Structure 1
Amino acid sequence: MSMVRTASAQYQPLGKDGQGHVSLGSGVLSEQPYGFNTRFEDKQGTNPEELIAAAHASCYAMALSFGLAEAGFESGKLNVDAAVTLEKDGDGFTVTQSALVLNAKVDGMDEKEFEAVANDAKNNCPISKLLNAEITLEYSFQN
Structure 2
Amino acid sequence: MTTNSASARYDGMGKEGKGHIATKSGALNASYGFGTRFEGKPGTNPEELIAAAHAACFTMALSFKLAEAGFEDGTIDTEAKVTLEKQGDGFTVTKSALATKAAVPKIDKAQFEELAADAKANCPISKLLDCEITLFPELVSG
* TM-score of the two chains, using structure 1 as the length reference: 0.96
SS at match of 1:73: coil
Query: Which residue of structure 2 aligns with residue 113 of structure 1?
Result: 111
Moved over 4 A (4+): none
What's the % identity of the aligned pairs? 60
Match of residue 73, structure 2, among 75, 92, 97:
75
5+ long unaligned stretches in structure 1: none
CA distance in 2, matches of 1:122, 1:104: 15
- The Cα RMSD (Å) is 0.7
Structure 1 position 138 matched with structure 2 position 128: no
Q: Which amino acid aligns with 1:88?
A: K
Q: Which amino acid aligns with 2:33?
A: G
5+ long unaligned stretches in structure 2: none
Deviation at 1:89, TM superposition (A): 0.8
Query: Which residue of structure 1 aligns with residue 57 of structure 2?
Result: 59
Query: Which residue of structure 1 aligns with residue 11 of structure 2?
Result: 12
SS at match of 2:15: coil
SS at match of 1:79: strand
CA distance in 2, matches of 1:78, 1:42: 28
SS at match of 2:16: coil
